[in-house]
Structure 1
Amino acid sequence: MVWTSYIWTFGTVISQASTWSPQRDSVRLLSGLWLLISVILVLVYRCNLKAMLIMPKVQVPFNSLEELMETDIHVFLPEGTLIHYLVTIAPPGSLLHRVNDRLTLHTSPPLAMKESSAGKYVIVASDFVMRPLFHDMFSMANSCPMYIASERIYTGISSGFAFPKGSPLKHVLDPILRRLLEFGILEHLYLSAVRNGTVCFTPESFTRPKNSLRPLKLEDFYGVFAVYAGGMLLASVVLLVEVALKGHQALKGRPELQH
Structure 2
Amino acid sequence: MDFTPIWQRTLVIDFGLIYSTDNVVIISRAPRPFIRPLLLLQIFTRLVWACLVGMVVGAGVVVGGLVWARRGMDGVRGKGVVQYCTATLKIMVYQSSDWWPRWSGSRLVSGTVMLVAVVVGSLYRGSITAFLAIPSRSPPINSLEDLLETHLVPAIRRLSSPYSFFLTENSGEMGKRVRDIMEVFSGTEMSQWDFIKRVADGTYGFIDTASSAIGRTGQYEKLGHPCLFNVGRNPLRMDLDAFAFPKNSPVKYQFDEV
- Structure 2-normalised TM-score? 0.41
**Higher share in strand:** 2
Larger Rg: 2
Normalized against structure 1, the TM-score is what? 0.41
RCO (CA 8 Å, sep 6+): is it higher in 1 or 2? 2
